Amino acid sequence: MRQPDWIGVGVAGCATTWTFHRLAKHPEIGGEIKELNLFNDYSPAKAKEYGNYFAKFRPERWVGEWSPKYWNNPEAPNLIKKHCPEWVKILVILRNPMDRFYASGKKNLGLYFRHLRRWKDTFGEQVGVFFYDDLQKNPRRFLKTIYEFLGVSHLFIDRSADLTPQKPTVYEWDKEILNFYIPSIKRLEDYLEKDLTHWYRQ
């Protein structure tokens, strides 16, 4: 029974829908339904339907789905590890948590570190972490980095990629909310060895 070669697991509100549909346009990638959510409610019957869905794509295509609800489900990484191919790639997009807070009003959505560590502990270098900031700056280059991570041709050009998601509204940051996020952001910086100071210095 065929299983996905890649799975997007998060994060909601970080252009996952836009990215999934851009990836699906690549001739070496297969995907029609974005959120299949098998590993949030696993059963053998649903797993069979899941496998049948991927089986309809040509064998040479790199097939996948993107279910953001997997992100904070503590059982999802081990279920995916158990039932998917050993080469399965995990895709994650992260966005400035202040932007996500003002879009949703929910503080806990931007606490990325503990969830990312769970996925990295399970899949190691098979987890690709990408950033919403990069998408906004250069959508074609953003997609190219994902193509390269998946191992498909990076020469494919999706002209619809120039139609990027709407840029987030700029707000005057609430210092109390910002201070809530800073420790988590700094842990993420250290963990990924990436400068994210623009996330907490306006």
Instruction: Please report whether residue 32 resides in a domain.
Output: yes
At 1 the pLDDT is: 85
pLDDT for residue 157: 87
Number of domains into which the chain is organized:
1
Give the residue carrying structure tokens 């606490």.
111
Question: Does some domain include residue 135?
Answer: yes
**Is residue 174 one of the residues assigned to a domain?**
no
Contacts of 76 (CB under 8 A, 6+ apart): 9, 39, 40, 70
Residues in the chain: 202
Read off the CATH number of the domain in which 131 is found: 3.40.50.300
196: in domain:
no
Structural domain containing residue 50:
6-169
SS3 149: helix
Q: Which residues of the chain have pLDDT under 50?
A: none
Q: What are phi and psi of 125, to 5 degrees?
A: -70, -5
Residue 21 in any domain: the answer is yes
Residue type, 35: E
Is 187 a domain residue? no
The pLDDT score that the predictor gives to residue 106 is 76
Q: Nearest Cα to 137, choosing from 54, 76, 198, 61?
A: 198
Q: Give the pLDDT of residue 168.
A: 64
User: What are 201's two structure tokens?
Assistant: 């210095």
CA distance 90 to 176: 33
What global pTM score does this model have?
0.94
Q: Note whether residue 178 is domain-resident.
A: no
At residue 170, the pLDDT reads 66
